[in-house]
Structure 1
Amino acid sequence: MNNAPETATTNAQDNRYERGLAVLRQVAGTDRPAVLESLADIAPDLARYTVEFGYGDIYSRPGLTLRQRQLANVAALAAIGNAAPQLRFHLAGALNVGCTRREIVETLIHVCVYAGFPAALNGLTAAREVFEAHPAAAEATPDEVSAPAPAETTAERYRRGLAALTEIDGHAGEQVIASLRDIAPDLGRYVLEFAFGDVYSRTGLDLKTRELATVALCTALGTAAPQLAVHIHALLNVGGTEEEVVETITQMVGYAGFPAALNGITVARAVFAERAAAERAAADSAA
């Protein structure tokens, strides 16, 4: 009997496993990742799926760096708020692949806009534990420490927020603010003053990384399709690519499940089509 197809399948699985194990070791910072041993006595197949699929298939894809993937995971896991052990693992993983403590803290502060202060505070508590366990990696340099913000007027925060909203979200963001004028104008003002004037305007993360994190967490939350559409537009507006959008959403399969990722891709498809139609219209008008 010719068993070549079976052998080829086995080799492919072995390649996926070895490829995934190499990436997992890099993220975990050890040759013996704890997830393998912790599942060995109860669900060894789940450990294998984690390595083969999570790291061999997903993490090994081109399109995002390991640093981007780790910050996306930190944002998503902090936002969904029900996976503290995994959040701690990926906080440490972020340090292991070269993210700074400042980038991690800024990502967790950013989460408060979309998942609330409790999610951000719990994420920062987990980060404190991880930093204490990794003192060398977590040590801050002077330029990583934020100076206290000077006293500002509300008008100054509003103007800075409006400028940031225009740069990041463009027309989509302006529509969100306009939609609140007849029912909750103060909420629209808070979006500008706090979300964009205070949080988005902070240093420590560039706008593209903030939008990658926002796309990841809005996908993982699964309850924010309109906001996900706005921030897919925003990611593209600040230099992201369609490939990076798709990769960020695909990454969420492992952390929020296939339904969340599939719904996210549906939103992305609509955004891409809308932007393509706008580009065609602009080209036709120019011609």
Structure 2
Amino acid sequence: MDRIEKSKEKYKQLFGDGVPAAYATDPDFQDILSRLIFGEVFYQGNLDDKQRELITLVVLTTNQTLPQLKAHVGAAMNVGLTPVEIKEAVYQCAPYIGFPKTLNAINEINEVFKSKNIALPIESQKTVDEDNRFEKGLATQIEIFGDAIAKMQEATPSNQKHIQEYLSAFCFGDFYTRGGLDLKIRELLTLCIVSSLGGSDGQVKAHVQGNLNVGNNKETLITAITHCLPYMGFPKTLNAFSFVNEVIPENE
């Protein structure tokens, strides 16, 4: 199939038999969009449709493009993602984009779930409690980043130590330890989130290395960032590529 036929087939798989509303007003633009996203990007690299839709959800959440997020919640379910997986992907955004934007996205997801008679709240994926969230979060940090965590903590000024404690207990304890998604996909989603934020160069580089440490190879990172392209644009995509190439040179 050429990219036109591929785009039609993929769009139908994701969204059903409907026609995008933009065809009535901006058909040329919709053709460019559909053929790039659904005819090319969706077929590039080594990720499956479930992984691609998880990436789409977190980038749309990060960008706060909520109408498109709502549409992709349905698409995510159409390719086999569960309500738990969808919620966990969006929860994963909170440490990087903040609670208000994450809540905006959760509200959109809940509307879709209610329309499909999915009972709320969905089952809890919590695995930590108040007594061990810091300990388990720190252990997860070390699993992802290794010795870099100890070095970072040693270099942190004394009046900022609380931020490192929050990072371990909140970001990694409260979120990374949850069920529903495994560590490899959580770390891959985090790379996509920080890449789409812009201005987070140090975090992008750190999470490229973190992905490598948990078993996501360079091909997977290139594919994931390519999948972000239609939603975050070329500048952020090329920046992320440069950090992947810096951390993982081609000769490696």
Provide the residue aligned with 1:244 in structure 2.
Answer: 220
Extract structure 1 runs of 4+ deviating beyond 6 A: 147-150
Question: Helix, strand or coil for the counterpart of 1:25?
Answer: helix
Which sections of structure 1, spanning at least 5 residues, go unmatched?
1-13, 277-287
* Deviation, structure 1 residue 64: 0.7
* Deviation, structure 1 residue 250: 0.8
Residue type matched to 1:205 in 2?
A: L
The 10-residue stretch of structure 1 (92-101 or 172-181) with the greater mean CA deviation from structure 2:
172-181
Q: 1:161/1:100 Cα in 2 relative to 1: closer, same or farther (>3 Å)? A: same
Cα shift readout 1:169-190 (whole Å, capped 9, x = no counterpart): 2234444434324451100111
1:189 aligns with 2:165: yes
Provide the residue aligned with 1:279 in structure 2.
Answer: none
Aligned counterparts, 1:30-69, within 5 A:
30-33=16-19, 35=20, 38-69=21-52
Residue type matched to 1:31 in 2?
A: D
Contact 1:101/1:140 (<8 A) preserved = no
Question: Helix, strand or coil for the counterpart of 2:173?
Answer: helix
Question: Helix, strand or coil for the counterpart of 1:257?
Answer: helix
Provide the residue aligned with 2:58 in structure 1.
Answer: 75
Contact 1:168/1:238 (<8 A) preserved = yes
Q: 1:191/1:55 Cα in 2 relative to 1: closer, same or farther (>3 Å)? A: same
Q: 1:84/1:240 Cα in 2 relative to 1: closer, same or farther (>3 Å)? A: same
Residue type matched to 1:45 in 2?
A: D
Residue type matched to 2:67 in 1?
A: P
Contact 2:59/2:196 (<8 A) preserved = yes
Cα shift readout 1:100-159 (whole Å, capped 9, x = no counterpart): 100111111111011111121111101001112233xx4689xx6117767532xx3222
Contact 1:173/1:230 (<8 A) preserved = no
Aligned counterparts, 1:117-266, within 5 A:
117-135=99-117, 138=118, 145-146=123-124, 151-153=129-131, 156-266=132-242
Question: Helix, strand or coil for the counterpart of 2:223?
Answer: helix
* Deviation, structure 1 residue 47: 1.1
Provide the residue aligned with 1:20 in structure 2.
Answer: 7
* Deviation, structure 1 residue 206: 0.3
* C-alpha distance in 1 between matches for 2:126 and 2:151: 33
Residue type matched to 1:152 in 2?
A: E
Residue type matched to 2:239 in 1?
A: N
Provide the residue aligned with 2:73 in structure 1.
Answer: 91
* C-alpha distance in 1 between matches for 2:129 and 2:227: 40
* Deviation, structure 1 residue 22: 0.7
* C-alpha distance in 1 between matches for 2:215 and 2:110: 32
Contact 2:127/2:178 (<8 A) preserved = no
Q: 1:229/1:172 Cα in 2 relative to 1: closer, same or farther (>3 Å)? A: farther
Contact 1:169/1:237 (<8 A) preserved = yes
Which sections of structure 2, spanning at least 5 residues, go unmatched?
none
Q: 1:59/1:139 Cα in 2 relative to 1: closer, same or farther (>3 Å)? A: farther
Q: 1:18/1:163 Cα in 2 relative to 1: closer, same or farther (>3 Å)? A: same
Aligned residues: 252
Q: Taking structure 1 as the reference length, what is the TM-score of the superposition?
A: 0.81
* Deviation, structure 1 residue 275: 10
* C-alpha distance in 2 between matches for 1:108 and 1:187: 23
The 10-residue stretch of structure 1 (41-50 or 262-271) with the greater mean CA deviation from structure 2:
41-50
Question: Helix, strand or coil for the counterpart of 2:24?
Answer: coil
Higher relative contact order (CA 8 A, sep 6+): 2
Which structure has the bigger radius of gyration? 1
